[in-house]
Amino acid sequence: MSRVGKLPVAVPAGVDVSIKDNHISVKGSGGALQLTVNALVNVVSEAGKLSFQPANASREADAMSGTMRQLVNNMVVGVTKGFEKKLSLIGVGYKAQATGAKLNLAVGYSHPVNIDMPAGIAVATPTPTEIVIKGADRQRVGQVAAEIRAVRPPEPYKGKGIRYADEKITIKETKKK
């Protein structure tokens, strides 16, 4: 059995987990999330803990039990603490400004780039060269961060562009005569 799948998910106080018709719903102070349960996994709720067992002895069911356990754990963590990604802008004149559910980027193009945030995702700019994306759904926070980074990914010669705060860019050496 999967090592991750063996561990139960502890449900903290203030979080409501309900399992109905192949759906797991998690509600907390950070929001509400839903997930469809895979047919290869059996979910058991007992004494404030959720456990995940494979429905049969196949390799796919074993792997899916660990995957479902981690997805539900991410939902529980998301509605209690939330997830955040930090991006930084490197380049002369590069700046970002968050206004409500919109992010305005000036990253070296002849026009500003405006990005609308989906529901459940909050964006903030503590400084003009920093972007902080927060939300309860880990996948959506990561996807929005990747889409913002894709506007101007870091280039390998000077390192200019939008990068994750903890990302290391390997700078290439320029061509010599």
Q: Which fold has domain 83-164?
A: Outer Surface Protein A; domain 3 (3.90.930)
User: What is the model's pLDDT at position 67?
Assistant: 93
Of 32, 40, 34, 36, nearest to 21 by C-alpha is 36
For residue 48, the model assigns a pLDDT of: 87
pLDDT tens-digit profile of 141-156? 999 999 999 999 999 9
Residue limits of CATH 3.90.930.12 in the chain: 3-80, 83-164
Give percent of the chain with pLDDT exceeding 70: 99
Residue type for position 114: N
Q: Which residue has the tokens 């429905």?
A: 55
pLDDT in tens, 9-66: 999 999 999 999 889 999 999 899 999 999 999 999 888 899 999 999 899 999 999 9
- Cα–Cα distance list, 111 to 33, 39, 104, 128 (Å): 36, 48, 10, 17
If you count them, how many residues does the chain have?
Answer: 177
Is the CB of residue 112 less than 8 Å from the CB of residue 106?
A: yes
The CATH code belonging to domain 3-80 is 3.90.930.12
3-state secondary structure 46-70: ECCEEEEEECCCCHHHHHHHHHHHH
Number of H helices, E strands in the chain: 3, 13
pLDDT at position 1, please?
A: 64
Residue 67: alpha-carbon gap to chain centroid: 15
The 10 Å Cβ neighbour count of residue 64 is 21
pLDDT band per the 50, 70, 90 thresholds, residue 177: confident
Cβ–Cβ under 8 Å, residues 31 and 23: no
pLDDT number for residue 151: 96
Q: Provide the pLDDT confidence category of residue 99 given band limits of 50, 70 and 90.
A: very high
Residue whose tokens read 């026009």: 111
Q: Provide the pLDDT for residue 176.
A: 86
Query: Tell me, what's the pLDDT at 148?
Result: 96
